[in-house]
Amino acid sequence: MDTILGPLYIAVSWIIVQFHSFYSLIFDRNSGAAWGLSIVSLVVLIRICLIPLFVKQIKSTRNMQALQPKMKAIQERYKSDKQRQSEEMMKLYKETGTNPLSSCLPILAQSPFFISLYQVLSHIAQNKTVGVIDQPLLESAQKAHIFGAPLAAKFMDSAEKIQSLGASVVDVRVVTIIMIVLMSASQFYTQRQLMTKNVDLTVKTPFMQQQKMLMYVFPIMFAVFGINFPVGVLVYWLTTNVWTMGQQMFVIRRNPTPGSKAFEERQERLRAAGKLVEDPAAVEAKQAAEEARHNRQQPKRQSKSQRQTGGAAPAGGVQNRTRAGSASGAGQGAAKKQSLEKKDTQDGKEKGGASGSRTAKSGQRKGQQRPKHPSKK
């Protein structure tokens, strides 16, 4: 690792030493302010150089969001043929000029500098010269403390190692925990700002779910790995997170994604300032919709009795309906009574006929008596 990244060690250490020489004119050369501001200035310099890559990242992220519906259609169409699916995806990327790796360019470009700074601070903690940092600068860097924590100290360092750097375990752990919390919170806010303000909410794609998952994964990763970072590296990473957050806020405000919440807010600001020229037909349609919404009449509230009777009605109408109902009820009662009387008459006839036939049968049996036996005469 040292052989491969040796030139970067020299470059990073040289940049830090140059900034340290400048800040030594203002602060004590052995102070944490001089060395800490040197690391912050290193971050600012690197991020300024990465602005073109950041612009490419924004464009690539927007293109990926716009291509999500087409990508989903390709996946559904060629779900059983992975090779054809990959070919169609590459064809789509080529036609639209989109590179999926462009969204990772700033992180990939920062990684060598991050690793180099980590190794430089590790060499300082081990009392080893590195790059252009000679023995006098090494002793000065070891004396530098940020809020009582040495630049080269870690959260997991032993008490003996921390004491050898001239600090206490409590100071080191309190400072590192605060920095880790701030680092994770800034990363979470940056990702949340991207999800809530700069995403087209009219299109639901898997890309949104992926970004939502990263919103929680990245802060956890920073919290886990942060306990193994030296204080100087935590200063570097906290600074780059704050820079990313501010840079993203600027871009979202000035050049938001169409269809997002930030885009609507920007349109309202331009409309209020009179800088937005809208289509007259669209303006008329919007005004007509607003007038229709204001002129729409709401139904009147009804009491419980009115809802049960089917709504309010005039008193005369109610009385007429009542009289008509009573008259129709009386007519129905009379018709029902006549039908019952008719039914009783028919039942009586049927019963009478049946009793008469039984009487006739009994009389016939009574009139036809068998002759007595001769012995009984």
Can you tell me the distance from the alpha carbon of 138 to that of 132, in angstroms, rounded to the nearest whole number? Answer: 10
pTM (2 decimals)? 0.63
pLDDT digits (tens, 9 = 90+) for 330-360: 445 545 555 555 555 555 544 444 444 444 4
pLDDT tops 80 at residue 310: no
Give which of 118, 335, 327 is closest to 229, Cα–Cα.
118
pLDDT digits (tens, 9 = 90+) for 142-171: 888 998 899 888 888 888 888 888 889 999
Output the pLDDT for position 208: 63
In this prediction, residues 251-276 reach a mean pLDDT of: 77
Can you tell me the distance from the alpha carbon of 97 to that of 336, in angstroms, rounded to the nearest whole number? Answer: 87
Can you tell me the distance from the alpha carbon of 34 to that of 194, in angstroms, rounded to the nearest whole number? Answer: 34
Output the pLDDT for position 70: 80
Output the pLDDT for position 315: 46
Token readout for 59 is 């464009």
Output the pLDDT for position 333: 52
Which ranges in 78-104 belong to alpha helices (H)? 82-96
**146 by DSSP, 3-state: which?**
strand
Other beta carbons less than 10 A from residue 19's beta carbon: 20
pLDDT tops 50 at residue 362: no
